[in-house]
Amino acid sequence: MAGESDEPDEAAARLEAALERIATAAARRAAVMQAEVQAASASSVAAPAADAPAAIDPEIAARLDGLIDRLRGALGARPG
């Protein structure tokens, strides 16, 4: 991002803020999906259980996995 500092602490703070926004958005999405599941279960016997967790979008999960791998590589960390 142009004009932003490359200081590790500042970059870590931006990354943390971005991950917090992603987590908040995912929680909102899960709540909406949970409400839809509950509504469906009220009108249909074949609906999934109301307490079934909402899955994260596979594209977002893949992108986050890629970013985490890049971060690990930059930090010299090994997975696992």
Q: DSSP states of the chain as a string?
A: -TT----HHHHHHHHHHHHHHHHHHHHHHHHHHHHHHHHHHHH-TTSPPTTPPPPPPHHHHHHHHHHHHHHHHHHT----
Give the amino acid at 77. Answer: A
Name the residue ranges covered by the structural domains of the chain: 23-75
- Report the pLDDT averaged over residues 8-36: 85
22-33 pLDDT per residue, tens: 888 888 888 888
Cβ within 8 Å of residue 78, ≥6 positions away: 72
58-70 pLDDT per residue, tens: 888 888 888 888 8
